[in-house]
Amino acid sequence: MKILVTITEARSVDTIFEIDGLEIDDRYLSSDLNEWDAYALEEAVQRTEDEDGEVVAVTIGPEEVEGTIRQALAKGADRAIRVWDEQLAALDLLDPLTKAAVLGSVVDAEQPDLVFTGVQSGDDAFGATPIALASTLGWAWGTVVNDLRLEASVAHVHRELEGNLEELTDVERPAVLSIQTGINEPRHASLRDITEAQQADIAVRDLADLSLDGGALTSSIDQITLYEPERESEATIYEGSPEETAAELATVIEETGVLQ
Amino acid sequence: MTVLVVAEHRRGELRDPSFEALTAGRELADATDGELHVGVVGGDVERYAERLNREGVDAVHTVARGEEFNHDVTTQAITQLVEAVEPTVLLAPDTVNGLDFLPAVAERLDLPLVTDVIDIEYDEGLTVTRELYEGKVETTLSIDAPRAAITVRPGSWPQAAGTGDAEIKAFDATVDESAVRSTVTGFQEIGGEVDVAEADVLVAVGRGIESEDNLDIVRELADVLGATLAASRPVIDNGWLPADRQVGQSGKTVSPELYIAVGISGTAQHVSGVRAETFVAINDDPNAPIFDVADYGVVDDLFEVVPALTERLKRS
Ligand SMILES: Cc1cc2nc3c(=O)[nH]c(=O)nc-3n(C[C@H](O)[C@H](O)[C@H](O)COP(=O)(O)OP(=O)(O)OC[C@H]3O[C@@H](n4cnc5c(N)ncnc54)[C@H](O)[C@@H]3O)c2cc1C
């Protein structure tokens, strides 16, 4: 069985940061393997470990994201593909439909049995790429999967809904499944795995390699502002030493009357 | 312009985010003197249509097909409904199921798609606002297209009220059965021994606690307060506390008298589950969105503040 896993490098902003135009400078950003993708990857690795299977990790991004795709290799992916070129670099915003078109052409080329993705990426949190990808491929899909049992032609999934409720769904294969955190325990890579992954080859593909017309990838969505939200809250923030702030909080708590 | 809202229901009830999406839809339609239409697929559509006929709704389109949400059926039905109604904007709640069909409709109809939107403006063109980086930054996006698909974040608009004089029409969608490739076979409730929804006082702990061993410091605080221990999702995912302690979108909605959030950043999926009379947050990041919902806060290291607070309360 061959499973393709989509991997995103998710960025987070430091405690103190500055916005410059439509960007936050790199020095205020840290990057890591997207939390949800780590679970998707682990699920794929576990599904293929016992048999002669293969896990192919795919990412869209410039050379700088290779550290993240190497993390996926260290954590058990057999191969890695990175898609990038000037036309993608020129796009203002990689929206879910664009990502789906690019990933769809990788799926066409690789012909996996299943595609696993994370439910969302932690930074832009669109949460829409898996479904758009399934739709592009004409495949079935299951989203927010927190339990999975695979049979030859069907995936039995639990989808996590709101309010401690799960939906039990049978999804025909091939399918795109978006994986929710908590479904498994993602492994830590060993030092040896990390060293090996540093040396592994990463296949770089451009849109032409994937027979995609870059001109068709224009998005009508443009980012026009980026700003720190005005804090709506009227929160009283206490300052001082931990003893001082704790004393203030203790007073607030006493005033609520919850202490008997 | 015409706005088409897709309503959501589950186990026989329309869900609240449907009525919030109606408000967002009406505001948008008003900006151009336009019409607000609603689509509802599956279940007791006639009963749903009556309830969806809130003030400002011009038409409700019902698609009687199946009992519960099935994304393949909804995708087909809504794709056809969009072709018939030709809305400028297609809106759905940003819920697990809203996100489970709208991207497919957008892909099929080649509509630009923006999810998890917290504000929409129409002034010569359509602009939407959403959050980035776990709520620390906001961005506005302009959508320059004749038509667009948007999901709206629950809790961002009030629910539409009153009664409208909508035309209620059965929409005859043709469902291609061979393209229905998923079947919902049932539901399962995740229960546990502790019901955090019942507690008057909650001490909730998040990823900031760093390890299972460190939980002792929040346990001690909970003990002196007679509080129940709750958690954000990463704590549960790591197996440090059982699933019944999770507060938030996929966990429990809680409404205690006092909620103390310790080392929790305050993503929408967490805070959507908290309606506390008094909300206290301890977090070392002054930009953490938890301070948007907190009444009282301390920006400092929880490993210093929490033990000091416990000591202080022991004395009182
Ligand atoms: C479909 C879906 C459903 C979800 N449902 C839920 C849900 O029901 N409940 C839920 O909680 N999440 C849910 N999530 C996950 C949610 O998106 C977030 O990932 C999660 O809430 C983050 O938890 P956190 O705040 O504990 O962690 P983080 O976001 O990592 O925040 C940790 C915070 O601790 C602070 N901190 C770190 N160290 C210290 C210190 N020493 N002292 C003080 N502060 C410190 C940091 O500054 C940070 O603000 C869901 C996600 C999806 C996609």
- Least reliable range by pLDDT among A12-16, A130-134, A140-144, B253-257: A12-16
Count CB neighbours of B86 within 10 A: 12
Q: How far is CA B133 from the centre of its chain?
A: 17
Q: How far apart are CA A117 and CA B301, in angstroms?
A: 35
Domain boundary among B146, B179, B212: B179
- Residue B311 sits in a domain whose CATH number is 3.40.50.1220
Q: Which domain holds residue A93?
A: 2-216
Q: How far apart are CA A43 and CA A192, in angstroms?
A: 21
Q: How far apart are CA B141 and CA B55, in angstroms?
A: 29
Rounded to the nearest angstrom, the minimum Cα separation between A79 and chain B is: 27
Atom of ligand 1 nearest to the CA of B96: 1
In a domain, B189, yes or no: no
User: Is B298 strand, coil or helix?
Assistant: strand
Structural domain count, chain B: 2
Residue written as token pair 């203030």: A248
Structural domain count, chain A: 1
Count CB neighbours of A31 within 10 A: 17
User: Would you say B118 and B131 are in contact if contact means Cβ atoms under 8 Å apart?
Assistant: yes
Per-residue pLDDT tens over the stretch B137-152: 999 999 999 999 999 9
Residue written as token pair 């546990």: B192
ipTM of the complex: 0.96
The mean of the pLDDT values for chain B is: 97
Q: Are residues B214 and B121 in the same domain?
A: no
Q: Among A221, A225, A226, which would you mutate to test the B interface (most chain B Cβ atoms within 10 Å of its Cβ)?
A: A221
Would you call B258 and A238 a contact, using CB atoms and an 8 Å cutoff? no
Residue type, B314: K
Per-residue pLDDT tens over the stretch B60-96: 999 999 999 999 999 999 999 999 999 999 999 999 9
Chain A residue numbers touching B208 (CB-CB < 8 A) = none
Per-residue pLDDT tens over the stretch A125-140: 999 999 999 999 999 9
Domain boundary among B121, B148, B179: B179
Of B207, B143, B153, B170, the C-alpha closest to B46 is: B170
Atom of ligand 1 nearest to the CA of B263: 34
Dist. CA B271 → ligand 1 center (Å) = 10
Q: Which domain holds residue B259?
A: 196-315
Percent share of chain A, pLDDT over 90: 92
The overall pTM is greater than 0.90: yes
Q: How confident is the model at residue B192 (pLDDT cuts 50, 70, 90)?
A: confident
In a domain, A241, yes or no: no
H or E stretch at A147: strand A140-150
What radius of gyration, in Å, describes the C-alpha atoms of chain B? 22
Strands A175-179 vs A140-150: parallel, antiparallel or unpaired: parallel
In a domain, B190, yes or no: no
How many angstroms separate the Cα of A156 from the Cα of each of A148, A151, A159, A165? Answer: 6, 8, 10, 16
Q: How confident is the model at residue B193 (pLDDT cuts 50, 70, 90)?
A: confident
- Residue A90 sits in a domain whose CATH number is 3.40.50.620
How many angstroms separate the Cα of B202 from the Cα of each of B192, B226, B269? Answer: 17, 9, 18
Chain B residue numbers touching A257 (CB-CB < 8 A) = 257
Q: What is the DSSP string of B241-292?
A: S-GGGBBSSSSB-B--SEEEEES----HHHHTTB--SEEEEEES-TT-THHH
In a domain, A19, yes or no: yes
Q: Is the pLDDT of residue A212 over 90?
A: yes
Chain A residue numbers touching B114 (CB-CB < 8 A) = 95, 126, 221
In a domain, B81, yes or no: yes
Task: Tell me if B134 CB under 6 Å of ligand 1.
Answer: yes
Count CB neighbours of A206 within 10 A: 14
Q: Torsions phi, psi of B49, nearest 5?
A: -60, -40
Q: Are residues B145 and B252 in the same domain?
A: no
In a domain, A115, yes or no: yes
How many angstroms separate the Cα of B315 from the Cα of each of A248, B310, B312? Answer: 14, 9, 5
Q: How far apart are CA B314 and CA B308, in angstroms?
A: 10
- Helical pair B98-109 and B71-85, crossing angle rounded to 10 deg: 50
Of A149, A97, A90, the C-alpha closest to B113 is: A97
Q: How far apart are CA B214 and CA B311, in angstroms?
A: 17
Tokens found for residue B288: 């953490």
- Helical pair B98-109 and A96-110, crossing angle rounded to 10 deg: 80
Residue written as token pair 């927190």: A146
In a domain, A260, yes or no: no
The mean of the pLDDT values for chain A is: 96
User: Is A236 strand, coil or helix?
Assistant: strand
Is some CB atom of chain B closer than 8 A to the CB atom of A141?
yes
Task: Tell me if A144 CB under 6 Å of ligand 1.
Answer: yes
Can you name the residues that pair with A79 across neighbouring β-strands?
A56
Rounded to the nearest angstrom, the minimum Cα separation between B165 and chain A is: 32
* pLDDT recorded at residue B236: 97
In a domain, A230, yes or no: no
Q: Torsions phi, psi of A167, nearest 5?
A: -105, 135
* pLDDT recorded at residue A216: 78
Tokens found for residue B86: 């030709």
Q: Are residues B82 and B169 in the same domain?
A: yes
Q: How far apart are CA B56 and CA A155, in angstroms?
A: 43
Domain boundary among B179, B208, B224: B179
Q: Are residues B43 and B148 in the same domain?
A: yes
Dist. CA A9 → ligand 1 center (Å) = 18
Per-residue pLDDT tens over the stretch A35-77: 999 999 999 999 999 888 999 999 999 999 999 999 999 999 9
Report the Cα–Cα distance between both ends of chain B, in Å, rounded: 61
* pLDDT recorded at residue A50: 81
